[in-house]
Amino acid sequence: MEGAIANIDVGLLKKYDRPGPRYTSYPTAPLFTPAFTADDFRREIIATNTPDASPDLSLYFHFPFCDTLCYFCGCTMLVTRDRKRIEEYNGYLQKEMALVAPLIAPHRQATQLHWGGGTPSYLSPDQIVSIAGAIRAAFPIAADAEASVEIDPRELARPHLEALRQAGFNRMSMGIQDFDPHVQAAVNRVQPPEVSRQVYTWARELGFTSVNLDLMYGLPFQTLASFERTVHDIIAYDADRIAVFNYAHVPWLKPHQRLIRPEDLPSPELKLDMLKMTIEMLTQNGYEYIGMDHFAKPDDELSRARAARTLYRNFQGYSTRAGADLYGFGMSSISHFRNVYAQNTKNLPEYYRALDAGRHATHLGYRMTGDDHLRKFVIMRLMCDLELEFATVEQKFRIDFLKVFARALEELKPLASDGLVELSDSGIRVVGPGRLLLRNIAMCFDAYLERLTREKPIFSRTV
């Protein structure tokens, strides 16, 4: 099977386990700067309305609220039991849409809609219907739009999913992480298997066409045997997609992770064994390895997009719709189109203050150079297609690949010797264990990595 990865050499993975970006964007977020302002953002939106611009929009909405804190959480979220805060926040999302939508040519429609968090399913069914209606009123949504939502099955009832289906959502992603009660207690996310199963069953009954389940390895008290049981149980769900994330213990970035005791974490060797076991079990049970933590059934759109070379990476990971301009709404959300990245403030009062003053809540941003576009293309194609023809890049960017990327190709040589890539006169092909080390391969083409990592650790580890 094409998606199978056989005979994983754990020693080799260990050799390449180092801090590195996930390349959901290039350049990566640490390059974003406050020099890019709300006024810049406004001007850039207006400038997108040219006849040659992509008519498609991708809309991301960030819902930060959760009712409890999972200690492993790496998201931008706020814990609250006060549901009035959600109401207030949704009001500000509408203010933000009212600021952005009039700047975008009205014929442009959203082909992609994503609600992330936090916990979007923490909204009540009425709140779901109401904010979804406001989004549709502000932006035309294509009839065949890919509309996905992140779900936390705890405290969720069937009416939540009914409201989401009514709002047009056809995909969902549900966090499971681990079925073991001991592990769940240690990360403060107690989620009985019957709760997850019930929500999954509702999702199927209600006609969600693609369901993704998230697992996480590297959590406290996980053992090879316990995680094997979790993987075994998840296979029985028969989900369309499974994502298996490596827990990134970065308490210097996420102070609440100090609630996890380092001595309870599995060793790096054990984590690699868990990764190997997971990949082998999933690929032997009908899933294709897409890349970077993601697995999908061969008939899922993700697998088909990979085969058709239309796979793309964005802030949600792999995506099947390339070319749309991304607009992010809500605190911390990121927009990306043409030459710019623009990120809203992560500070909720600041987000509210900006919108009250009639300003975009842009806090950081970045203006891409020609070299950034070139490197972004190379990195994205390698991570999505697992190969790159030099001629394609040379034609698209009018460069001499061997000359421009002489240093990157030199850096790739040891990876080629270790059997991660094949280098030829005409291109690069990711092979064997290289598929598990895509970040390391991409890092050779990153012009900023050395500068960014010289002073302090800012990225999670690659394996």
Cis peptide before 118 (omega within 30 of 0): yes
* Cα 215 to Cα 232: distance, rounded to the nearest angstrom: 12
E runs forming strands in 122-268: 141-151, 171-177, 210-217, 241-246
Nearest approach, Cβ of residue 66 and ligand SF4 (Å):
3
Half-sphere exposure of residue 251: CA atoms within 13 angstroms, side-chain side: 8
Distance between CA atoms of residues 275 and 462, nearest Å: 12
Question: Residue 137 CB: number of other CB atoms within 10 A?
Answer: 12
Instruction: Select from 64-72, 214-222, 326-334, 394-402 the region that touches ligand SF4 (CB under 6 A).
Output: 64-72
Q: 421: which residues sit within 8 A by CB, 6+ positions away?
A: 412, 415, 428, 429, 430, 431, 434, 441
Closer CB to ligand SF4, residue 74 or residue 268?
A: 74
Query: Of the ranges 7-15, 80-88, 112-120, 227-235, which one interacts with ligand SF4 (CB under 6 A)?
Result: 112-120
Q: How far apart are CA 390 and CA 220, in angstroms?
A: 44
For residue 328, state whether it binds ligand SF4 (rule: CB under 6 A).
no
Residue 43, CA atoms < 13 Å, CB-side half-sphere:
7
Closer of 111 and 191 to ligand SF4 (Cβ): 191
Longest dimension (CA), the chain: 61
Interacting residues with ligand SF4 between 216 and 255 (CB under 6 A): none
Task: Tell me the closest approach of the beta carbon of residue 250 to ligand SF4, in angstroms.
Answer: 14
Q: Does 146 bind ligand SF4 (CB under 6 A)?
A: no
Shortest Å distance, C-beta 273 to ligand SF4: 25
Write down the least CB distance from residue 263 to ligand SF4, Å: 22
Beta bridge partners of 216: 245
Q: Does 75 bind ligand SF4 (CB under 6 A)?
A: yes
Stretch of 68-76, 269-277, 283-291, 444-452 lying at the interface with ligand SF4 (CB under 6 A): 68-76
Q: Are 108 and 95 in contact (CB under 8 A)?
A: no
Q: Give 12 or 77: the residue with its C-beta nearer to ligand SF4.
A: 77
Q: Is the bond leading into 125 cis (omega within 30 degrees of zero)?
A: no
Shortest Å distance, C-beta 219 to ligand SF4: 12
- Looking at beta carbons only, is 72 or 318 nearer to ligand SF4? 72
- Candidates 152, 178, 180, 240; binder of ligand SF4 (CB under 6 A) is 152
Cβ proximity to ligand SF4, 175 vs 317, nearer residue: 175
N-terminal to C-terminal alpha carbon distance within the chain = 23
Specify the residue, 21 or 175, whose C-beta has the smaller distance to ligand SF4. Answer: 175
Minimum CB distance to ligand SF4 smaller for 77 or for 290: 77
- Report in angstroms how near the CB of residue 69 gets to ligand SF4 at its nearest: 5
Minimum Å gap between C-beta 71 and ligand SF4 is 8
Using DSSP bridges, classify how beta strands 312-314 and 288-291 pair: parallel, antiparallel or unpaired: unpaired
CB nearer ligand SF4, residue 70 or residue 274: 70
Site size toward ligand SF4, by CB under 6 A = 11
* Nearer CB in complex with ligand SF4: 72/327: 72
Tell me the CA distances in angstroms from 81 to 68, 77, 123, one per residue in order.
Answer: 8, 13, 11
Residue 175 CB, nearest distance to ligand SF4 (Å)? 6
At closest approach, how far in Å is the CB of 79 from ligand SF4? Answer: 7
73 near ligand SF4 (CB under 6 A): yes
Residue span binding ligand SF4 (CB under 6 A) among the ranges 52-60, 113-121, 228-236, 379-387: 113-121
* Sign, Cα dihedral of 74, 79, 83, 346: negative
User: Least CB distance from residue 70 to ligand SF4, whole Å?
Assistant: 3
- Choices 34-42, 66-74, 327-335, 449-457 (CB under 6 A): range interacting with ligand SF4: 66-74
Whole-angstrom Cα distance, residue 291 to residue 293? 6
Query: Between 69 and 98, whose beta carbon lies closer to ligand SF4?
Result: 69
One-character DSSP codes across 394-449: HHHHT--HHHHTHHHHHHHHHHHHTTSEEE-SSEEEE-GGGGG-HHHHHHTT-SSH
Closest CB to ligand SF4 among 66 and 383?
A: 66
Using CB under 6 A, which of 20, 117, 266, 317 touches ligand SF4? 117
Give CA–CA dist 422/432, Å, rounded: 10
* CB half-sphere exposure, 268, CA atoms < 13 A: 13
Residues 118-137 that bind ligand SF4 (CB under 6 A): 118-119
Which residues form the interface with ligand SF4 (CB under 6 A)?
66, 69-70, 73, 75, 77, 117-119, 152, 175
